[in-house]
Amino acid sequence: MDFKKEFISELEKTIDGVISYDNLVKMIEKPKHDNLGDLAFPCFELAKHYRKSPIIIAEEIVQEMDVSTFERVESVGGYVNVFLNKEKVSQEVLTNILNEKNQYGYSGIAEGKTMTIDYSSPNIAKPFSMGHLRSTVIGNSLALIAEKQGYRVIRINHLGDWGTQFGKLIVAYQKWGNEKKVKESPISELLALYIKFHEEAEKDSTLNDQGREAFKRLENGEREAIQLWRWFRDESLKEFNKIYELLGIRFDSYHGEAFYNDKMDRVVDILAEKNLLIESEGATVVKLEGYPPCLIKKRDGTTLYATRDLAAAIYRQENYHFDQSLYVVGHEQSLHFKQLFAVLKKMDCDWQEGMAHIPFGMILKDGKKMSTRKGKIVLLEEVIQEAVQLAVKNIEGKNPNLLEKEEIAKQVGIGAIIFHDLKNYRLNDIEFSLEDMLTFEGETGPYVQYTHARATSLLRKGEFQPDSSTVVKLKDEEAWPVIKLLNQFPDSIAKALAEYDPSQIAKLLLELSKAFNKYYATVKILTDDQKQQRLTLVYTVKIVLKEGLRLLGMKAPTEM
RNA sequence: GUCCCAGUAGCUCAGCAGGAUAGAGCAACAGCCUUCUAAGCUGUGGGUCGGGAGUUCGAAUCUCUCCUGGGACGCCA
């Protein structure tokens, strides 16, 4: 519900069109402190126009305004502060949620539009690191949020399954590899080979050349190279799928870089046709204004990351006809995406307007980037194990009779990890800290889940039956902040999508949880006198918490 | 050297299409379970919003500049 509009239309009558409707919308704000009201209008702009003190203007507006639709209106220090009619607003907000249920917050603004989201995209033959977790979790949440606004979403896992690194790996395997060992624990053995390769290459620089040659054999489709590559890929994918299953994440496409191998000649042809290709130091590049040139082909004729991304972009447009195409990829690749979009623009692909890089900060270890090559890496699977174990321990201490302990511990432990990643602005770097990630108190995922479980428990004990004809007259002071936050949920979803920022939702859920827990602590809910009304509030809180958690990719256990 | 991020309480962060006394959580300390799940609630202490200049009636928020940290800068992805 947009109660701003009522305020504005009353306001407009008093200021003779000095400020346009659209500007008024922007100027209305939330007072910093609850005791100042629910909405505020600052009169400082008007002071210039009327050449009067804002304090006097505010007082005059209050005098002239029809305040009957509000609880009260007052002028304080140059502001017109409005206190909404709590009963009316409560009734509207709760009835609305009661009717819409988990559809609450849906807006059809993107109905009929298609969005592709490229996220997760781990590298084959390397462990799934904490860094990939960010892309996975942010991308997944953005996909859910986009769907909530009506988008048809195509989830793409652009696997890093091609490139010189596989040449290196093939060389390493042929020199030092052992089939049996790789079969036993593929990822860690392949990683060990990869690390060894880089160690040896420091002593013997010809190894890097050998790696490039091996990749060339791969690109040319040589049988032995292809067989090894396919084997590495299959084994890796098996491992990744375990993690996706734990996180409850799925994709519509697993087309990785290799998939575009036979689609790159066409890209190069188009570039040549448009006279965009230039020879430079033996390589083939596209010159760009304002950015360094984009490398299309190496001296030895093999392709690069950018070439494959061009092919992928064109493929996605031709197959999905996307209106928007997001790339949830680390901030360190910002330049690459600027170049990519610029090249597409030069190719007259006007649909590139809909493409966007959604960068995020890095997970640092001791203030530095983690490097796979040096084996400085934290494994996601181990972190998940620890989180789940800690959740089990908590359940045994706090709720030993709980059924399905294992399943709930999984939901809570993983919830803690996901929420920890999503609650802050995505561009912030995160210093890796197991301790922070495994905290279950305060502003955490389990705190929100716990609040949901509490709400559910009340509904169960009170044998609540939702009834949209309930007349909600909540006299409790503490209910009001809860209702205001429930009302903000649709806005926070819209903002999360507009800014590609799931933390907007996480923050709202925290605020709502805090307000509800305060309500819970001060108001006795299961009493005879306002039980149905109070439980209706509890029920709507439960709906919003559950739906909000879902949009973050988290489960909402009913008990914990 | 050039470009991109970021710098707010001891720690982690909110707030940033300018607005009222800069807010949370953690940690510390003090309280609250014979009553709806204490993974909770209440209270206390804690700040030159990196420094400086500018725009403005008004700047944590916008501009410039400097400092600090991180990242990226043609044959990796």
Whether A129 has a pLDDT exceeding 90, the answer reads: no
- Give the pLDDT confidence of A104-123 residue by residue, as tens digits: 999 999 999 999 999 999 99
Q: Measure the CA–CA gap between A250 and A243, rounded to whole angstroms.
A: 11
- Residues of chain A with pLDDT > 70, as a percent, come to 99
Give residue for tokens 């390397």. Answer: A126
| Boundary (domain end) residue, out of A41, A58, A84 | A84
Give A4 CA → B57 C1' in Å. 26
In a domain, A219, yes or no: yes
Q: Measure the CA–CA gap between A285 and A119, rounded to whole angstroms.
A: 27
Give A535 CA → B22 C1' in Å. 36
Per-residue pLDDT, A94: 95
Per-residue pLDDT, A431: 84
Q: Indicate which CATH number applies to the domain containing A508.
A: 1.10.730.10
Q: For residue A44, which nucleotide's C1' is closest to its Cα? A: B57
Q: For residue A458, which nucleotide's C1' is closest to its Cα? A: B36
Q: For residue A461, which nucleotide's C1' is closest to its Cα? A: B36
Q: For residue A290, which nucleotide's C1' is closest to its Cα? A: B3
For residue A514 the two structure tokens come to 């805090």
β-sheet bridge partners, residue A165: none
In a domain, A97, yes or no: no
Q: For residue A527, which nucleotide's C1' is closest to its Cα? A: B36
Per-residue pLDDT, A524: 92
Per-residue pLDDT, A351: 96
Which of the 8 DSSP states describes residue A506? Answer: H
Q: Are residues A166 and A308 in the same domain?
A: yes
| Boundary (domain end) residue, out of A84, A109, A132 | A84
How many independent structural domains does chain A possess?
3
Q: Work out the mean pLDDT of chain A and round it to a whole number.
A: 92
Q: Are residues A438 and A359 in the same domain?
A: no
Q: Are residues A351 and A463 in the same domain?
A: no
Give A530 CA → B40 C1' in Å. 23
Per-residue pLDDT, A376: 58
Q: What would the mean pLDDT of A332-359 be, rounded to a whole number?
A: 95
Q: Are residues A319 and A445 in the same domain?
A: no
Give the DSSP per-residue string, A78-137: TEEEEE--HHHHHHHHHHHHHHHGGGTT--GGGTT-EEEEE---PBTTS--BHHHHHHHH
For residue A23, what pLDDT band results from cuts at 50, 70 and 90? confident
Nearest of A275, A282, A280 to residue A292 by alpha carbon: A280
Give A402 CA → B33 C1' in Å. 20
In a domain, A57, yes or no: yes
Domain that holds residue A70: 4-84
Q: Which nucleotides of B are covered by protein (CB under 7 A)?
A: 4-6, 12-21, 23-27, 35-42, 57-58, 69-77
Q: For residue A305, which nucleotide's C1' is closest to its Cα? A: B77
Q: Are residues A313 and A405 in the same domain?
A: no
For residue A548 the two structure tokens come to 């909000």
Q: Are residues A244 and A154 in the same domain?
A: yes
Q: Are residues A353 and A407 in the same domain?
A: no
Per-residue pLDDT, A33: 87
Give A433 CA → B62 C1' in Å. 35
Per-residue pLDDT, A375: 53
In a domain, A449, yes or no: yes
Q: Indicate which CATH number applies to the domain containing A66.
A: 3.30.1360.70
- Give the pLDDT confidence of A405-419 residue by residue, as tens digits: 999 999 999 999 999
Closest residue (CA) to C1' of nucleotide B11 is A436
Give A45 CA → B54 C1' in Å. 22
Per-residue pLDDT, A51: 85
Q: Are the beta carbons of A93 and A84 closer than 8 angstroms?
A: no
Q: What would the mean pLDDT of A257-264 be, rounded to a whole number?
A: 92
Give A75 CA → B46 C1' in Å. 34
Q: For residue A443, which nucleotide's C1' is closest to its Cα? A: B25
Q: Are residues A496 and A460 in the same domain?
A: yes
Give A169 CA → B73 C1' in Å. 27
Q: Indicate which CATH number applies to the domain containing A279.
A: 3.40.50.620
Q: Are residues A457 and A515 in the same domain?
A: yes
Whether A374 has a pLDDT exceeding 60, the answer reads: no
What are φ and ψ of residue A347, in 5° steps? -80, 5
In a domain, A212, yes or no: yes
Per-residue pLDDT, A473: 79
Nearest of A115, A103, A186, A114 to residue A148 by alpha carbon: A103
In a domain, A540, yes or no: yes
For residue A101, what pLDDT band results from cuts at 50, 70 and 90? very high
Whether A187 has a pLDDT exceeding 80, the answer reads: yes
Whether A194 has a pLDDT exceeding 90, the answer reads: no
Q: Are residues A133 and A196 in the same domain?
A: yes
For residue A371, what pLDDT band results from cuts at 50, 70 and 90? low
Q: Measure the CA–CA gap between A431 and A89, rounded to whole angstroms.
A: 43
What count of other Cβ atoms lies within 10 Å of the Cβ of residue A29? 12
Give A96 CA → B62 C1' in Å. 39
Whether A377 has a pLDDT exceeding 80, the answer reads: no
Q: For chain A, percent helix, then strand, then coil, each to nearest 5?
A: 60, 10, 30
Per-residue pLDDT, A545: 98
Q: Are residues A357 and A427 in the same domain?
A: no
- Give the pLDDT confidence of A144-186 residue by residue, as tens digits: 999 999 999 999 999 999 888 889 999 999 999 999 998 888 8
Q: Are residues A208 and A337 in the same domain?
A: yes
Closest residue (CA) to C1' of nucleotide B41 is A521
Whether A226 has a pLDDT exceeding 70, the answer reads: yes
In a domain, A199, yes or no: yes
In a domain, A355, yes or no: yes
Residue A96: CA count within 13 A, CB half-sphere: 18
Q: For residue A47, which nucleotide's C1' is closest to its Cα? A: B57
What are φ and ψ of residue A58, in 5° steps? -60, -40
Give A386 CA → B71 C1' in Å. 30
Whether A470 has a pLDDT exceeding 90, the answer reads: no
* ipTM beyond cut 0.85: yes
| Boundary (domain end) residue, out of A60, A84, A108 | A84
Question: What is the CA A242 to chain-centroid distance, rounded?
Answer: 21
Whether A378 has a pLDDT exceeding 80, the answer reads: no
Q: Are the beta carbons of A105 and A143 closer than 8 angstroms?
A: no
Per-residue pLDDT, A267: 95
- Give the pLDDT confidence of A492-536 residue by residue, as tens digits: 999 999 999 999 999 999 999 999 999 999 999 998 788 999 999
Whether A366 has a pLDDT exceeding 80, the answer reads: no
Closest residue (CA) to C1' of nucleotide B38 is A398
Whether A208 has a pLDDT exceeding 90, the answer reads: no
